[in-house]
Every structure is written in C-alpha cells, then in structure tokens.
Structure 1
Amino acid sequence: MVRKATKRTKTASGATSMRDSPKEEDVSDQTSPQSEDNMPASNLQGAGRRRGRPSNPLKRSSESAQRDEESEAKKLKKLELLQAFDSLPHGVMLCLGTGEFGQLGLGENTTTRKKPALVTKDLEGKRIKKIVAGGMHTVCLTEDYQVYTFGCNDEGCLGRNITDDEEEFEPGLVGGALEGVRVVDISAGDSHTAALSDDGAVYLWGSFRDSHGKLGLVREYKIESAPTRLVSLNRPIVKIASGGDHVAMIADNGKVYTMGCSEQGQLGRIARYFSNRGGRRTAQVPGRESLRDKELCLHPNPIHLPRLNKTSPHARDVFCGIYSTYIVTTSGDVFACGLNNYHQLGMPNEEEDFFNPVHVPLLSDRPWKMFAGGMHHLILLDEKGDVYALGRGDYGMLGLDSNDNVNKPTKLPSLKNICRVGTGSTVSYAVDVSGEAYAWGMGTNLQLTTGEEDDELSPVAMSGKNLEDRAVLAVDGGGLHTVVLACDKSDFAKGGDS
C-alpha cells in the first residue's frame, strides 16, 4: 500500500482546526528511585543507625506499622480497581466515519462507513469492556484485561510490531510489557496510548507532539513503539485520562500528575515561558536533578491545586479535552487549566490560556458525573442525567440548535436520562439509560450515522442495521471516526446499563 504524503498535513484532531499544532522514535522512563539493591556498599553499611546514636525501637516499630498500613491500602486500591472493572458491562465494538489510516479496523478495502460496522478479526468472540478513539487510531480493552489497537502507527501509538501496512487496518493484541499485566483502564490521544494496571502502574506508548513537531514520550524526541512503564511514579494511580498530547493521572492520595505538551497550559504546572520549546532548554534531561528539570513536561509531576477555605483539595476525577484538563475534587469543586479561547474551561476571563489550575465557579455549582472535551468545546453530564454544553458552537457541536458560542454551561433540553457522554474533535455524543445513543456536530467525516455530510445542530438518534438489536453502552470520537460499544438488547435488559 502506498502511504499518502499528506498523512500528517490534516491533523489527527479534526477536519477543521483553529488552533491545531503540527503533528509527527524509542525508550522508557528511567528515573526511578534508588533502592538498596543498587546502592553502593558504602551507603548500605550502617544503614539502620547513625554513628554514635542508639537505634530507636519505637521509631522502627512505628515505621514498620506505617509500611504495613500503606501495603494494606495498596491492596484495597487494587481490589477496588479490579472490582470496578469487572462490574462493567461488556459488548462488541462498532466503527464508522472516515478511516483511511486504518482507524475503523475493517481492513484495507473499507476506509469509509456511513453506518456502524462490526469490528471482528482478532476481536471475534472477545468481550469488550472499554473503547477509546485516538486522533487516528482506536483502542479497546477486553474482559480478560488485554489491549487491542488499530489505525495509524506513524508514531508508535499502536504499541505493537507492524511488519506490513495492512496490519494497521485490523485489530492486533498489544504485548511486550503488558504481557501478564491486568489492564483495567485505557486512554488515547493524537499519537499516544496509555494503560492502567490493576496495581496502579501506568504504561505508555507512542509520542507527544507540540507546535515544533515530535516532542517525545518519556525522553525528548524519542517515540515508544512498545508499552513502557512509568517507573518514576512513586504512588499507585487510580485513574488516567488523555488529551490530544498530554496525560493526566490521579494517584491514590488524591493528587493529579500530568505529562506531555504544555503549550496551552494543559499540564497545569509549567510556566508559560518554559512551555514553549523555544523558551525551555529541554523536555527532560535524564540524570539531571535540578528543580527546573524535574518540573519539565516529559516527567510526570503533580499539579498543585489552590486551597479553598484553607483546605487542600483532593481529586475525585479527572477529564481531558484536546488542549485542556478538568479536575473534580471530593468536595465537588472543579479546577481547570489549558486552552480557554472559546471559554471552554468555564472561565469568563479574556485570557486564552491558563497555565495554572484555577477554580471554576461556573462548574462548581452542581454534582457532575462526567465531562467530555473536544478541541474547543465541553460536554457535561450531571448526576440527574441532564447534559450541558460550553465553548465553541461552530458545526453545531454544542447541540443547542445554533452555531453560536456559549460561555457558560447551557442545558440541552432534548436530552433526558443520560448516563454517558462523549466527544470527538468537532462532534458530540450522549447515551441514555435505555441504550439509545445520540450524536450531533460536524457531519463532514460521516461520524454521526446520518449517512450525510450535513452538520447536525441538535442531537439526532444514532442508527444503523448493526444497532437495531443492540443497546449502546458508550460512544467515543476521534478526529475523523466514531467508535461504539454495544451489547445485545437481551443482555442489556439484564443490567447492561450499569
């Protein structure tokens, strides 16, 4: 197959972009804490006491008890992650839209689908629990904790050895460092993929990009063509989320760690000057221990949320738009950072970028269940099952029957009893408790199931022969395609909407 020279001239994030970064090889995160196994013998000698001071048995007992408590807490977190994953309903995966780079998973001869088509091949008979759409690739997670990928692999985001272009067009199992690992969560961006294991470890593959081109993943300018464990994270992670070129992770202590591109402030921890490659010295210098190096973008570090009422916020959930990050705390407050050029952060300020997390009063007035961020818009789902939209209104992607921009959360009156929402770059989705799915926004890439290229300014019911006897569990969108997770209606009636 001849690859088109224009593959990356149209960005993975969508057909039309007001602020797209230009998009474009192999290693792992090597900055791990030094253990006694690799310390010099001189450092180990007398490690249990200080010269001239007797050891303190009470202190040692206290430290031992603390270690036991931490070990027990990790076991409980692992159990919680497994139980949450095992309780998810399972189904099959369907794809539609434009897939000239293999992101539909239907083989080289099928690069466009107006209606949802069943993805089979290596997924035949597999029970799929999670699906995500990257910019130009697709990822799914099966009931037996295995990750499958397909689509554009120019920067290694499939995480598997591709010997022939044809292999990109069909699902394939991701092995390597994931062999024997129980994966319970996945996320994907324009050119990267992330996986979370049941013991709180994060694995990444692919590459981040910025406006200068290839940024790298864990070392500057280098891609990861196979899963790489982030060994420098010193706490278990309980949730992961991906933007276009960044990753956000919640640790078990409620802190949010970020890594990736920071040009629009989406990492929430790097100053504007150091977020631009022309201003910073490097993304990461292995072995360098200066404060500045530690805070740079390819090394995961925590965001410091501002205190509210003299209390340090703890994250309950995290969501990402393509250029933004949203954090929901245990108290229900929302913090955000990143691109705000259409007020998609919920901040009325004229500032286009927020490089530090800010408290968002407009989003902190109700209990939210889920956020889904596109390129310049945000779809929100509250605990009552109502859907709200915010940000850029072009192509109808807010679902408010117009192309007007909106600077505060505005309710979509036609949607009721919604249990999930999703977005692509310029499209939006919702799934209700009965298994019906809805789509709206840009129709150019045939992502809406209408079969037409017309934009839809209000939600329309998703349809197709392969959905007639199935209930939809989740929908996600990439730059040019849509991915659907659905199950038989008979199975759904038994509790598939949980």
Structure 2
Amino acid sequence: MPSGVILTLGEGSVGQLGLGDEVMTRKKPAVVPDISQEEIKKIKAGGMHTVCLTNTNKIYTFGCNDEFALGRPTDDDDSEYSPKLVLGPVTQNQVVHLTAGDSHTCVLTETGRVFVWGSFRDSRGRLGMMKPKEAKTPTELTTIKEPVIDVASGNDHVAMATASGQVLTMGCSEQGQIGRVSRYFNDRGGRRTIVYLLVPTKICIHKVRGFKKPKIIKVFCSAYATWVVSTDGHIFGFGLNNYKQLGFEDGVNRHMPEHVDQFSDIGCVQIAGGQHHTLLLDKHGSVYSLGRGEYGRLGHGTDITQADEPIKINTLQNITSISASSAVSFALDKDGKAWGWGLGTNLQLTTGTEDDVWTPTQLTGRNLETRKILEIGSGGQHTVILAQDQP
C-alpha cells in the first residue's frame, strides 16, 4: 500500500493538528514534524482528533482526549498536541482500516477483529462505549462472533459488515442512524436501556422484490446516517433526512433500513456525508451531491442551496475517493490532485481565507507542490492530508 507524510490545516485549539501547543490554526497544509520520518499509510480525522497508521502497524493519535478518543493517557501537558503511540493488544494485530467519530476511534484488523475506544454521546451527554462507561484504551468487541469485513463511523455511531453479509450497529440512535430502534424508543433505548444501544447488534434488512436476501459488503456513515451496499449493488439507508440527504425526498428520518432507489440507480461505489449533505461517487469517477447547500457544501455554486436528489458536479472528473464533514467536502482524482469546497470559517480548504467556497477548488500549498495526495480526512474543524513525495 502507498505511504507518505501527514499534513494538517484548519483549527487546532485542542491539538488535532499535531503541530505542538503553540499552533492553534493553520491556513495551509503543514507537515506534522514528529512523525515526518514515519511511512504513514492510513489517516482519519475525528471531530477534534486525528488518527494515523504506519506501514509498521504503529497507531499514532493526537487531539482532544476529553472522552478518551486518543486511546492513550494524556497526563503530560502537551501530549494531546503531538502524535503519540497507542499501545496494547491492538498493536499485536495487523490493522487494515481506521474510523473516527466525534469522540471515538475504531480499527479493523486483517483477521476481522474490531477494537474501539472513546465514547459515544447523545443530546443528553455521554452514552459510553459497549457499556455506560467510556473505553479509555483500545478494547476488542468480543461479542461479535464472526469476522468483520468493513466498518464505518458517524459522529456517535459505528456500523459494521460481517463476512456472512450481516450488518451490526452500535451507538446513538436519536436520528435513526443505527437502524434498529423505533423512533418511539429513541430515548437511550427506552425500556431496553442504554446497553441495547452500545452492544453491536444485527439489523434487519428486507430484500428487494425480485432479488435474494441482501448480502451486505460495504458500509458508509455520515454524521447522523448510515448506508449499506449489497452484492447486487442495492443501497439501503437509515438516519437523519431533514434536508433529504439520506436519499428520500419526503424529508422524513428513517429508523429502519430502507432501499434508496436514487442511490442504487447511480451505482455508487462510495458515499460520504456531513451533517446535512451527502456526496456520491460512481464507478465512472463522477461525483454527485444532495442535501443542504448552505456555505457551498454541495459544490454547485450559489444558485443551488438545496438539492432534493443527487446532482452531478460537472467540474469533477476521474475522481477516486470522496470525503466530507459537517459543512465541507473533498474529492481526490486519479493523479493525486484534490479539490475542496464548503464552509471556509475553519480554514480547512487551503484557500488561506475564511471565505466560503461554492465550487470545487484545487487544494494548494507549498507543502503540496511536489507531493501526490493519497487520502484526505475531514474533521470537525480541521483537515488531514496523506501525501507522497514525487521525484
């Protein structure tokens, strides 16, 4: 797998940039110095923390640790502001995938084991992780009885696809994002209590007429929603839909999985979303967006501030991956060039200003001039870039 160096920009008041306790903001991408000699192969940006994985299976974290999202002690005054190693049994397993939410982190190993740390939250405060208590260090989800093949994180929930094609979810259920709690029992699980939300549990996905029972192979999450993809290419969604971002034009949240016709018709290979908008990537390298368009997050210019169905962003071609967070969006092409658009307030888009960006604009900076971008992680107020030196 290609590897490179990690660069950060945006707001860094709690250490999520990894540039030390004297750098609170960064307008242009800066190399994280403490791990500049490491070969980084995976990155992920959480709400206010950053996670990265090296070619030698080391996991580094930095940023806010109030809910233990870093998975390590931060007793030293500056240990949140610089990359430090996560230790414990998780490092004895070959990690293949990282995810991160507002206050939690999750990793998947090559043998299908899942480790989590941190805590979920809801509108009433801390929920916990696996039980009504935070996980301060990496802890395996031992109740899962078969290998997991894919995992994704929302702000405060996790979705997993298993080798047999099942989907397991855990976390906050308030907007329907775990797909197995009726809206009448959303208040911390109702009679079943918080534990029902925190233990990974299978959801029920009904088959599409004329097809066999769906076998799920991919999961995607936005802040408050989840989509799952079957081997037949069918996409099912559940969660927040107040701006039609889930893919249903009625604007009603879905608390149980439902087939998303317009996403399935596009043939999505990747889905990414923020709080109120969604990006879709098809097999031809085209990108579509829908949902709320305020601040430019849809990428269609100032004329479109709401999209009830996916609209193609015609300026983007040959795109290989997409990412998004609250009100910003990113796309990466096959040549290692990247584009960003959306809210400018947090300086996440490399423009150097706080102006909103209404159409895709190429990411720039002195530290990107001789580097090919491999991956982009979009956090709550910061951006993380994995880039490879070019001759």
Which bin holds the TM-score, normalised by the shorter protein?
over 0.9
Alignment deviations for residues 78-130 of structure 1 (CA, whole Å, 9 cap, x no partner): xxxxxxxxxx2111110000010000000001110000000121x23211111
Q: What is the aligned partner in structure 1 of residue 263 from structure 2? A: 363
1:422 aligns with 2:333: no
Deviation at residue 197 of structure 1 after TM alignment: 1.1
Aligned with residue 310 of structure 2, among 394, 409, 412: 409
- Look up the match of 1:436: 337
1:284-299 map, 5 Å: 284=195, 296-299=196-199
Q: Report the AA paired with residue 362 of structure 1.
A: Q
Name the counterpart of 2:187: 276
Residue type at the aligned position of 1:302: K
Offset of residue 141 of structure 1: 1.1
In the alignment, structure 1 residue 328 sits paired with structure 2 residue 240: no
Residues 93 and 360 of structure 1, relative CA distance in 2, 3 Å threshold = same
Instruction: Please identify which structure carries the higher strand content.
Output: 2
Local SS of the residue matching 2:185: helix
Deviations 1:210-268 (A, max 9, x none): 11100000111x11110000100001101110000000011001111100001100000
Q: List per-residue Cα deviations over 1:343-400 (Å, max 9, x = no partner).
A: 111111231x210000011111132221111111111111101110011100000001
- Aligned partners of 2:189 and 2:197 also within 8 Å: no
2:366 equivalent in structure 1? 465
- Find the aligned partners of 2:267 and 2:85 in 1 and give their Cα distance: 38
**Percent same amino acid at aligned positions?**
50
SS of residue matched to 1:273: helix
CA deviations over 1:25-66 (Å, ceiling 9, x no partner)? xxxxxxxxxxxxxxxxxxxxxxxxxxxxxxxxxxxxxxxxxx
* 1:93 counterpart letter in structure 2: I
Match of 1:105 among 1, 14, 18: 18
- Structure 2: gaps spanning 5 or more residues: none
Q: Considering fraction of residues, name the structure with more helix.
A: 1
Structure 2 residue corresponding to 1:452, chosen from 323, 329, 353: 353
8 A Cα contact 1:146 1:182, kept in partner: no
Contact conserved, 2:57 with 2:91, CA < 8 A, in 1? Answer: no
Pairing 1:250-399 to 2, within 5 Å after superposition: 250-277=161-188, 279-284=190-195, 296-308=196-208, 309=210, 311-351=212-252, 353-399=253-299
Task: Work out which of the two has the higher radius of gyration on C-alpha atoms and give 1 or 2.
Answer: 1
- Asked if structure 2 preserves the Cα contact closer than 8 Å seen for 1:424 and 1:482, the reply is no
Point out where structure 1 has 5 or more consecutive residues left out of the alignment.
1-87, 285-295, 491-498
How many residue pairs are counted as aligned between the two chains?
A: 389
- Looking at structure 2, the residues matched to 184 and 434 of structure 1 have their Cα atoms a distance apart, in angstroms, of 23
In 2 relative to 1, CA 465–212 (structure 1 residues): closer, same or farther, beyond 3 Å? same
How far is 1:277 from its partner? 2.7
Q: Which residue of 2 aligns with 1:115?
A: 28
Q: Aligned partner of 2:138: which letter?
A: P
Query: TM-score, normalising length from structure 1?
Result: 0.77
Q: In the alignment, is the contact (CA less than 8 A) between 1:332 and 1:366 conserved in 2? A: no
Secondary structure at the aligned position of 2:348 is classed as coil
Equivalent position SS for 2:38: coil
What secondary structure sits across from 1:452 in the alignment?
A: coil
Paired residue secondary structure (1:349)? coil
Q: In the aligned structure 2, how far is the partner of 1:424 from the partner of 1:157?
A: 18
RMSD after superposition: 1.1
Which amino acid is 1:304 matched to? C
Match of residue 181, structure 1, among 93, 110, 126: 93
Q: Is the 8 A contact 2:99 2:151 kept in 1?
A: yes
Distance in 2 separating the partners of 1:473 and 1:176: 28
1:7 corresponds in structure 2 to none
CA distance in 2, matches of 1:238, 1:91: 25
C-alpha separation between the residues in 1 aligned to 2:190 and 2:105?
Answer: 27
* Distance in 2, Cα, partners of 1:418 & 1:111: 32
Give the whole-Å Cα distance in 1 for the aligned partners of 2:213 and 2:85: 42
CA distance in 1, matches of 2:167, 2:188: 24
Partners of 1:310 and 1:189 in 2: CA distance: 34
Kept in 2: contact 1:397–1:441 (CA 8 A): yes
Q: CA deviation at 1:281?
A: 4.9
Superposed CA offset, 1:162-191 (max 9, x none): 112300000111112323221111100000
Give the Cα separation in 1 of the matches to 2:178 and 2:10: 31
Contact 2:107 2:116 (C-alpha < 8 Å) held by counterparts: yes
CA distance in 2, matches of 1:245, 1:99: 21
Could you tell me which amino acid in structure 1 is paired with residue 355 of structure 2? D
- Separation in 1, partners of 2:215, 2:26: 43
Match in the other structure for 1:203: 115
Structure 1: how far apart are the matches of 2:180 and 2:90? 30
- 1:302: how far off? 1.2
2:43–2:53 contact (8 Å) kept in structure 1: yes
Name the amino acid aligned to 2:97: D
Where does structure 1 differ by over 6 angstroms across 4 or more consecutive aligned residues?
none
Per-residue deviation, 1:310 = 5.1
SS at structure 2 position matched to 1:283 = helix
1:245 and 1:179 mapped to 2: Cα distance? 24
Contact kept, 8 Å, 2:245 with 2:290, in 1: the verdict is: yes
